[in-house]
Amino acid sequence: MKRARSRRTGGFKSTPEPKRVNAAVSREPRENVAYCPPPDELDNSTPQLKHLGGSKSDQWNLMLCNHVIRTAWYGRNPQPGKDLDDKRTAILAFLAGVNPSDTIEGMMAAQLFASHAAAIECYRRAMLADQSVEGRQMNLTLAAKLTRANAEQAAALSKYRGKGQQKVVVEHVHVYQGGQAIVGQVALGGSGKISEAQPHAIGYAERAPLRCEDKEQEREAVSVAGNA
């Protein structure tokens, strides 16, 4: 406590000292502040739901599962019970079957199911008994678009998983009797060997004789019509 001289009495009165803030306490995170997870090289945690969301953070995996579960159709008035739990378990089984290895694959898997569920819902609405012709046509058109989107998402997931792999395509493979496989078009030289200008050709092929090389062999005469 500090003492300050009073102007009226000339004495001293006690004045409270200013409150000091502990710097160590002020740096502690509050309850309403999001927690920033560490990078992969410093993260030693073992998530239990990575096979569903692909992330090392189970908070992300759980949020992704809830997003996917909300995209499904459970009827107008779904009642809590075994039937509803079985449907949700089936959706989680789909994510487990995709088995995303990272968060990108997790998002692709979620979108893959969402487009599938939306397409099936449009097909269901188009088949309602009291559905109008316009409504049926609109639902079928939307279902066709969602089906194409679903196929594109499946192709994108397959392409993302196969990144970095080399694809070798071999075309025009010809195998001749007595020779080896030759790739592409091959030009034969005078000696019957592969020309050096064809680096893509493999091996060699024996040239079939086109005519008799023995000049002394008699040739058979060919009859020609008089008016030819």
Provide the whole-model pTM: 0.57
* DSSP one-letter code for 197: T
Distance CA 160, CA 184 (A): 32
Helix (H, G, I), strand (E, B) or coil at 98: helix
With a cut of 70, say whether residue 135 has pLDDT above it. Answer: yes
Identify the pLDDT of residue 25.
Answer: 47
% of residues, the chain, pLDDT over 70: 58
What is the average pLDDT value for the chain, to the nearest integer?
76
> At what angle are helices 58-70 and 103-126 packed, to 10 degrees?
10
Mean pLDDT lowest among 17-26, 122-131, 205-214? 17-26
| Contacting residues for 91 by C-beta, under 8 A, at least 6 apart | 68, 69, 72, 113
Give per-residue pLDDT as tens, 76-102.
Answer: 888 888 899 999 999 999 999 999 999
Has residue 116 got a pLDDT over 60?
yes
Burial of 77 (0-12, 13-18, 19+ CB in 10 A): exposed
